[in-house]
Amino acid sequence: MIVAVISGGFVAVQSRINGELGKELGDGYAAALISFGSGLVILMIVMLFWAPGRRGLGRVMAALGSRSIPWWHLCGGAAGAFLVLSQGLTAALLGVALFTVATVCGQTISGLLIDRSGLGTMAAKAVTWTRLIGSAIALAAVIWAVSSELVGSIPFWMLAMPFVAGLGIGWQQAVNGQVRGLAESALTATFINFVVGTAVLLIATVVHSSFVGWPTHLPSNPLLYVGGAIGVCFIAAAAILVRRTGVLLLGLGTIAGQLTISLVLDLVAPIPGHVVAWTTIAGTILTLLAVGLAAVPSRAIRAESKTRAR
């Protein structure tokens, strides 16, 4: 859980970086492609020197050829691509805190659903009272946090896009965990994730740029190009942790890190023209409390109901 919280904090930093890169380029699609593509370059270099990663890739390809693994288990990178694209298009305008709490809603819902039903070799996990109540409070806190923006000038799609991206995060973590278990290598799962994500973003960027043109310049600030490296760390950590924690608990841990760091970034280094509303601060604090509640072990709802019936 400590690793999950730390990796969540890095996601908040990545959101700020990719948002600023998209703003500097004037093109969120190109920013997303640069972020994902740079992560893929890093992974390709590592794969050259890490034999277990290459052996894991062979296992996955063999399983895919024998149809012992569904092809869509390899498509987690598409959800990651959509998250990075939403960062490039909306994070700089929404602010990192507001962007993050908008993803929490989707991430919490997908975590509950996947844990309840299971996925692949990941057995279904019983929904406990603390997880259910904590998730409900987190959703209410997110709505409260963004309430001041719903009546403002921000278009609805800017809030809807990170929500949909949040839904994809839970699914991405689950399928990447399946690939990691089959390959016996987190590097293999992360590499496949970035190959798929980069391919999706390349197609989207080419189509988009054919209508609006390509960016005419690249920012000189080197810090704007480290989003891909941060993404590599986050995806690898999630692929390792999800099979042990489940999707919901992993998601809640990363949410705690995301919210804390994103609010700090918006308060310490605010985006010009963007004011952090008191409801965003209060909603973030309430969400952190909800995450803590959900992490407390308790009885499974189904088990308790059967006991009472007897």
* Dist. CA 97–CA 118, nearest whole Å: 31
- Is residue 213 classed exposed, middle or buried when 0-12, 13-18 and 19+ CB atoms within 10 A define those classes? exposed
Tokens describing residue 278: 């008191």
* pLDDT score of 303: 47
Give whole-number Cα distances, 107 to 53, 96, 162, 223, 264, in Å. 29, 16, 10, 28, 21
* Dist. CA 37–CA 70, nearest whole Å: 25
Which of 172, 153, 293, 152 has its CA nearest to residue 235?
172
226: enclosing H helix or E strand: none
Select the highest-mean-pLDDT range: 32-36, 149-153, 213-217, 255-259: 32-36
> What is the per-residue pLDDT across 107-166, written as a single tens digit (0 to 9) for each?
778 877 887 776 655 666 667 777 788 778 877 877 776 666 655 566 778 778 888 988
* Backbone phi, psi, residue 260, to 5°: -65, -50
Contact between 271 and 154 under an 8 Å Cβ cutoff? The reply is no
pLDDT-derived band at 60 (thresholds 50, 70, 90) equals very high
Say which residue, 138 or 200, is predicted with more confidence: 200
* Dist. CA 257–CA 8, nearest whole Å: 4
What is the rounded average pLDDT of the residues 46-57?
92
Cβ-proximal residues to 308 (8 Å cutoff; 6+ apart), any chain? none
* Dist. CA 95–CA 107, nearest whole Å: 18
- Lowest mean pLDDT segment, chosen from 69-73, 204-208, 261-265: 261-265
- Is residue 249 classed exposed, middle or buried when 0-12, 13-18 and 19+ CB atoms within 10 A define those classes? buried
pTM to 2 decimal places: 0.78
Above 60 in pLDDT, residue 272?
A: yes
Above 90 in pLDDT, residue 59?
A: yes
pLDDT-derived band at 306 (thresholds 50, 70, 90) equals very low
Largest CA distance in the chain: 71
